[in-house]
Every structure is written in structure tokens, then in C-alpha cells.
Chains A and B, each alone.
Chain A
Amino acid sequence: MPERKLFAHELEKRLDELLLLALRQRSAAQPAALLEALPRQIQERVLHWAGVAAQTSDDLGWLLASLAAAQAAGLGVRLDDWARAGLDAYDRGGLAAARTALTGFAATDCAPAAHSVAFAAVEGRLSRFLQALDGRPLKLAAGEAAWTDTETLWLPQRLDLAGDAAGNRSLYKAMAALLWAQTRYGSFALDPEPELELWPDRERGLGWFALFEAMRLEACIALELPGLAMEITGLRGPWPAGLKEAAARLAQPDATVADSLACMAAQRLAGAGATPAFSHVTGMDPVAARRLRAARIRRETATLRRALNVLRALDAKAGGRTGNPDYPLLAADGEVQLADPQADLVVLPPDARAAAKSLLQDLGEIPPEALHAAGPGAWQPVAGAEADEAAAAGTTRPDAFYDEWDYRRAAWRRDWCHLYEVEAPAGDHEWVDEVRRRHAHLIRSIRRRFEALRGEDKPQRRQLDGEEIDLDAQVDARADRKSGAEPSPRLFIHRRRVERSLAVMFMVDMSGSTKGWVNDAERESLVLLCEAIEALGDSYAIYGFSGWTRTHCDIYRIKHFADRYDAATRRRIAGIEARDYTRMGVAVRHLSGLLARQNTRHKLLVTLSDGRPDDYGDEYRGRYGIEDTRRALLEAREKGIRSYCVTIDRHGADYLPQLYGPAHYSVIDDAKKLPQKIAEIYRRLTA
């Protein structure tokens, strides 16, 4: 189809539709007139981005459309990046920031070439790619250069080294893969400092180190992911002739970082010149990486020892053997299990298992000191915690007391948690209005989809089978028979019963760690959820929880089942703010108690959180909190309540299966996406 340009009146109409301008008494005539001069392809891109922006906020859409009209010609192919920069700025700082970013784009981002690729454009894809690969979970972030500290991979903001966009994307992937390989195949297992100190120019030495490691790691990748290795090989071209020998040596399957250091030494003695430049070879900072690695190993060794300590205590209680505190660990396929001579394999608790796996990745074995259970002192509460607790305790009488499960004693601590139920403070009603305006499109589409789900009790006529006789059909059939025609056998009315009898409790994490983005995402998600559930007619309640030690567990009432979704409720949603800690067990107990009183067939408890259970002092953190929460969720289950958790903790997969069961949680990798995803999760959960 030949693509002719759109004329001004057509453009104006399209913009009107996209931005609902008629409602706001604005005219698109001026931008449309400017856009008319542009080629069709660019016109379509501008309309596309205006539509995308309008889904976030109508004002943003208008801003983008009007600025694009004036700037699109100058931007050329960078139009997409320009629009993305504007949207990003809006997410961070609102309309004013977006305006600054859009008008100042050319000045700040001085003309990257047409085929350059921004980090933001590949982030989602790369983070999922990395997640599927083996090894410890890694964070992905944009930085000045490509390097890793073994827990976060930094990649450059923008790549413009290859000749086309596909090449730059592939370069991003190659860099990410090499950085992943550095953490996976022990690039930081040895200290390169002794060798680096012998180099007159440390930077040059590091460059050679990175190059030799890239050679070695490429061979490691080739063993597991041959396609990826081939892509990297294609990207880099051949190694320099002088380095063929080193490359062959480092490609041996048993080559380690020691071989890379040996190659470095050989290179130094032969009088190393400048490092040959390869665009995919990343920078390395062995000092930072090794510092983080050492801290991690210490932490994980401690985790493992504590876990073993508990096992030993259980063992002793069971009247088992005493004396030998060492447990041999079996490692097979990365599955680390503990051999208990008394019974079958005792599976370690999830955090200890993750720690053991991570230690295996760092060290290749579990260090012997980790296999000695820690001394009995390890579980002593931190000195002074009791005093703090007493100080933190308020003077008013709590609304309820709850028992807490202590897995170490395998017993209850009676009336351990003091619970206060308070009405949540009202927030700014303009905030809710702003969210509803910004997500107007999303809300409309959610409402449409959810209304379709509602499924009224509709009688279906003329069915083969059903509860009632369809008189109309009966009469028709009789008439047909009289007239000699074959009567239809569809003579019944069938009623599709609505089976939605559902009460949902949303339990919102208001701990201090949610401050900022997470809190915003939680509040926005709640607004969208309310809109969705109002369309469905399910009964629902929203409570926030936070606290500060066992004597101060607060539950904030945001919406009770009986409350309507009115202005007051909306203001309480706006008023949700980050407070203290996450003592989850008591919150689950209290809220599931409220939920259990609902007279519906199905009851669902949905937790929105950003991490594992935690409280002031060492005690609740870690396994104690997880075990207590697990116990509380089991109790809820006995009351006929199903639990589900939506979290943005990327380590959630370590402990959530144990708390909620394998299929009953979602991990959202980016808080910003929570509002968009939450309604869909709810729909799937209750479809």
C-alpha cells in the first residue's frame, strides 16, 4: 500500500481521538499543521508515542505531541529515544521534568548516532535472559562502564560501537554474558594484586587481565551455551595473531583464573604493549568485586552455620547422637543437601540452601568452617534488645494479643505480640485524583475486562438440556410437528450459576524499606485494584501493617469489608506511607481472623510486599520470621483462606515457595510495573 502523508485534518482527528482533546477544550490544529510537513513514517511514530504517553497521562500525551510536532524533523530517527527520555523523566519527576527532558534532549544527549541503542531499551530483555541462566540472582543497572561487583552488572547507558542497532543490541548481550560468566566461573577467585603490582601501568595490566579472562570465559560459555559463544565470536572477530597461543591455553576446559594470570605474566615478560581493543571486553574492578565477595562468603558461611546449629539442636532434642557437630554436605547438580545419618537427606531451609549454592559458586566447595555448627551463643538476642523493646512499648493497652511460633523451641510464645489496630491517616485526595487521571486509559480497559468477567446469572434459552422447560421453544416445536417439519430438540433453559462468592483481604507492607518508589507503586496498585474489584463486585478489604518489635505491631485500617470505595477510603489509600518493620506473622493472624468472619465461599489473602519478614533486632529476621509467617499462613489455610503474595523482592523465589506454595506468588522485577500488572494478577487469580 503506498503510504501517502496524512493531511492536517486527518492528523488533528487522530490526535483528538488519542488524547481526548475534546474533553479538555484543546485543539490539535497547531501541532497537526506542523506534522503535516513530515513523512508518513515519522507522522505515525509521533502518533504512536502520543498514544503511549496518553496512557500514562493525557497531559503528557499532549505535551509530547505538541513538542514532537516542532522537533520531529530535527530529531529524525532519534525520535523514539527522545520520546522514551520524556516518559522516563515523567516517571521520575512529573510533567515539569518531562518538559525539561523533552526540550533539552538535543542539548544533553548530544546526537548519538542513528543506530545506537540505549540501555533502557534492552534492560527488560536482558534481565530476563540473565534470570534464566544458572547461578546467583544478579541485578542489572546502567552505569558509566561495563563491569560487575559480582552482585550487580553495570552496563553503559548507550552503545554505539557496532555499525547497526542489531549489532549494538548483540554487543549488550555479549557484555552481559561475559559479566555473568565472571561471577559464574570464578574470575575473582584469586587475588590478581600480586601480578598487577608488577605492572608499571596498573590500568594496562587490568586491561590484559580482562582480555585473558574474556578468552577463558568465552570457552566456558561455549560449553554450556554454544550459540551464545558463537555470537560473541562473530562479534569480536579473530583474536590477534600474537595471542593465539594464549587463547588456545585459556580455551582448555580446565583453565581457571590462574591460567589467565599466568598468561598475563608471560605477556608482561614479553613486554606488553597496549591492550588490543575489543568492544565486548568489559572493565574489571577486582578490588571491589573481591571485597563484596569476601563479605558475601562471611555472611553465607554464618547463615549456613546457624542452620546447621538448629539442625544439631533438633537432633539433640530427638535424643540423637551427640558429639560430632560436623555434617557432610552432598553437592550434586547444584542441589545442596545435608546428609543426616539418622534419616534420609535432611533438606536445608531455603535461605541456607541458597547460601550453600552461592558458596559453591564462589569457592567451588563448602568451606570446612561453614560445616561446623555455630556455638550455642549464636541465637542469643542482641544485648540491649530487651531494654529497647521495653522502651518502645507504648502506654496504651493493645487491641489484641497474638501467639507467635518459635521454631527453635517448636512451641508457641503465648500472647507474645501486642497488636494495635488503628485507622490509617488520611492522605492527599489530589494524589488519588492524579493517579486516576494518569491511568485513565488503564482503568477504563480494566473495568471493561472485569465487567465481562462478572458473569450475571443469565438464562440460556433453547438448550439441549437444562433445569427448566423453554416454553417458547416448546410451542415452536409443537407447531413444527403439526406442520410436518422436524422439531428442534433444543427445548430447555439452562442457568449458568455465578460461582463468584469471594472475599479478598489485601495486606499491604508498610515497612520502612518500601519508602519511595515501592510505596508509590503500592498505592497506585491499590487504586487500580479497587477500580477493578468495584467492577467485579467482590467483597474486599485493605489493611496496612508495620511495627517495631513485638510490643508494637500496628495494623492500619484502610478499608474494611463494609466500607465503600468512597473519597474517605481513597484518601486513606493516599495516606499509606513507609513506617517501620515487617513482623508478618501477627499481621497474617489478625487479618485472616477478620477475613474468616466473612460469609463467602472463597476467601483470599493477598500480600503486597517488598521483602521477607523482618523486625527490629536480630531475632525475627531470617528463619524465625519465615517460620512464624509460614505457621500463620498454615493456620489461615486451616480456616479456609487461600494466600497469595505479590512481591518485588527479586530474591523472593528463595523463600516464597516455602511460605505460599510453589504457584502462589508473583515476583515483579520492577516496582514501576506493579500497577500495570496487579489487575491482571488478580484476574488470573480469581478467573
Chain B
Amino acid sequence: MTAPKQSARADVRALATPLLSLASEPYYHATGEEVAVFEAAAGRCLPVMLKGPTGCGKTRFVEHMAWRLKRPLVTVACHDDLTTSDLVGRYLIVGDETVWMDGPLTAAVRAGAICYLDEIVEARKDTSVVIHPLTDSRRALPVEKRGEYLVAPPDFMLVISYNPGYQSVLKEMKPSTRQRFVALDFDYPEAETEARIVAHEGGVDADTARLLVKLGSLTRKLKGAGLDEGAGTRLLVHAAQLIAAGMAPLTACTAAIARPLADEADTRDALDDLIRAVF
């Protein structure tokens, strides 16, 4: 049985990296100089590293900046089996022939896009080999398998994110990699700002948002004592969205905040108590 060649080719095209161009402004509330620093780095072709706990707005910030700079965005969520080929590209065999398929990094370099490698420490160590030449004055991507040496256009920009709260020693970033980036520290915003963000993103009134933020700040004190990390802004927004959809705050917070954070019975019950204490 021979599959029609045309459809096989179409399948391969469907695998190509999508370049995301954002039409409308993604909501982002700046809390410091990060927008200015990012713009300056983009203007000078410098790569940027975003550090911070989970759910504090790193990914949203990149989306916002891509929109602001009017550049397409390629996001790669790194995992522990992500190889160099997954980033650069590989030959696929289609019927009788081999077809080259650009990986997301190559696609971003060709298109002059922002390439965002989320949670870079999760990726396998050999991926740093392809990142290094892109992050210094060479600004180039060697595509070994094709014998190609792609020089990045000025619009190409590499952004990585990294959560310093991870405890594994095997997931540390080497200084030789770290020192290539302009770094921006992200943290949970100030209570007032965070309440505004939760109200806007979650579609709840200011009072509910304030209570959610209060709850968030209480859970963050349990870090290291029952919790690996407290509730991020993202979890608070999820809870707000459930409330906006008509759920009772207690149910919404239990489902969106307490359950995702903890499995252990004592911690889970304590979180339930905190939710009931705040609402």
C-alpha cells in the first residue's frame, strides 16, 4: 500500500515550526525596568535570561515584548529529553526521499524571530553547544547535518527562562552559559499590583482579587515547610477565573490553588484552613 506522496509531504509541512505573530496586545503589567531593559537588549542584539519562580509572568512578558517589538515568537518548552536535533532540525524520510525539517531554533533564526526556550535547565546538556555561538558576537547557528552556517539576522533574539528555585544539583546552569545573557529577575509582584493583575486577568472585582493575593502571600510562607513553592500569580488567576465563571470562592480556591500545590494531608488541610480563613 502506497500512501499518496502529496499527502505525506503535506504531513511534513504540518510539522513545521509555527511562527506566532501576535495581533493583539498580551496583557502585561510592568513592575520595574524590565520592558526598557528588554528593548535595549533587543536593539543591541543581546540575548536575555528571565529568572524567577513558576507562574510569575515570565512567559507572558516574552509574549508582550514580541508584540511590542513586532517580531514573531517561537516558544520551546524544554524537557529532559530535548536534544540538539529537536532544536536545530532533522531529516525526515518521506516515501523514497529525505526531507529536511527546520527545528524551532533554526526556523526562528531564519525568520528573525524571538526564540524563547522555556525552563532551559530541563533540556539536555548538549543543547548548550548550539546556544553558545548564537549568544556571542558570532550570532550564528551551525546546522551540522546540512553543512550550513546560518548567520542570524539582527531581528533574531534568544530568550531563555530559568527557575532558580529548583533544587536539583544536576539542573544548575553553568557559568559559561549564564554569563552570555542579560538577566532579568522576576518575582511575585507587590500585593497591590498583583491584585490588579488578578482582577484584570481573572475578571473578578478588586476586593476578590485582594483576598486572592492575600491567600497567595500566606501560602508563600509555607515554602520549605510543606510546600516547594507557594502559589504563583498564575494559580491566583486560575482561581479568579473559576470565581468569575460563577463558582463559590471556597470551591474555586480549593480546586485551583490548594489541590495543585499539595498532596500531603496535613499541608492540604492547612491550605484548606487558610482558604477558609481568608474568604
Contacts and interface: CB of A to CB of B under 8 A. Distances in A.
- Chain A CB count within 10 A is highest, among B3, B83, B164, B167, for B167
Interface in B156-193: 164-170, 172
Interface in A616-673: 642, 644, 653, 662-667, 669
A128 B267 contact: yes
Nearest to B219: A132
Interface string B7-22: 0100000000000000
B167 A685 contact: yes
Interface in A194-229: 224-228
Given A132-B221, A484-B2, A486-B95, A663 B166 contact: yes
Nearest to B3: A486
Contacts of B93: 487, 489, 491
B226 A128 contact: yes
Nearest to B270: A128
B170 A502 contact: yes
Interface stretch (B31-39, B194-202, B271-279): B271-279
Contact of A124 (B3, B266, B278): B266
B128 to A, nearest CB: 13
Contacts of B125: 499
B23 interface: no
A680 to B, nearest CB: 11
A129 B277 CA distance: 10
B278 A226 contact: yes
B167 A663 contact: yes
A663 to B, nearest CB: 5
Given A125-B269, A128-B267, A231 B168 contact: no
Interface in B193-221: 214, 218-219, 221
A486 B1 contact: yes
- Chain A CB count within 10 A is highest, among B1, B219, B225, for B225
Contacts of B69: none
B229 to A, nearest CB: 9
A686 B214 CA distance: 33
Nearest to A664: B167
A687 interface: yes
A225 B278 contact: yes
B167 A684 contact: yes
B169 A653 contact: no
Interface string B249-279: 0000000000000000111011001111111
A499 B170 CA distance: 8
A164 to B, nearest CB: 17
Contact of A602 (B1, B3, B169, B275): B169
Contacts of A489: 92-94
Contacts of A485: 1-2
A151 B69 CA distance: 55
Contact of B164 (A125, A464, A662, A665): A662
Given A485-B1, A489-B94, A491-B93, A228 B277 contact: yes
Interface residues of B, number: 44
A667 B228 CA distance: 11
A358 to B, nearest CB: 16
B222 interface: yes
B273 A685 contact: no
A132 B276 contact: no
A173 B83 CA distance: 51
A686 B270 contact: no
B170 A500 contact: yes
A430 interface: no
B167 A225 contact: no
Interface residues of A, number: 46
Contacts of B8: 486
Contacts of A177: 277
A669 B226 CA distance: 9
A125 B278 contact: no
B225 A129 contact: no
A131 interface: yes
A481 interface: yes
B208 to A, nearest CB: 12
A136 to B, nearest CB: 13
B96 interface: yes
Contact of A642 (B96, B172, B214, B218): B172
B232 to A, nearest CB: 15
Contact of B225 (A125, A131, A224): A131
B225 A669 contact: yes
A224 B265 CA distance: 26
B90 interface: yes
A124 B8 CA distance: 59
- Chain A CB count within 10 A is highest, among B164, B228, B277, for B277
A604 interface: yes
Contacts of B94: 489
B85 interface: yes
A669 B227 CA distance: 13
A236 interface: no
B248 to A, nearest CB: 12
Interface string A464-500: 1100000000000000010011110101000010011
A464 B267 CA distance: 44
B224 interface: yes
A133 interface: yes
B222 A128 contact: yes
Contact of A663 (B165, B221, B225, B277): B165
Contacts of B224: 653, 665-667
B168 A686 contact: yes
Contact of B270 (A132, A465, A665, A685): A132
A231 B276 contact: yes
Contacts of B85: 465
A227 B277 contact: yes
Interface of A: 124-129, 131-133, 173, 177, 224-228, 231, 464-465, 481, 484-487, 489, 491, 496, 499-500, 502, 602, 604, 642, 644, 653, 662-667, 669, 684-687
15 contacts: A125-B270, A127-B270, A132-B222, A227-B279, A231-B276, A464-B92, A484-B2, A486-B2, A489-B92, A496-B81, A642-B169, A642-B172, A644-B167, A663-B167, A666-B224
The 7 closest A-B pairs by CB, nearest first: A124-B266, A128-B270, A489-B93, A228-B277, A125-B269, A225-B277, A132-B218
Given A499-B170, A502-B170, 16 more contacts: A124-B266, A124-B269, A129-B273, A129-B274, A131-B221, A131-B225, A225-B277, A225-B278, A228-B276, A228-B277, A465-B83, A484-B1, A489-B92, A642-B172, A667-B225, A684-B228
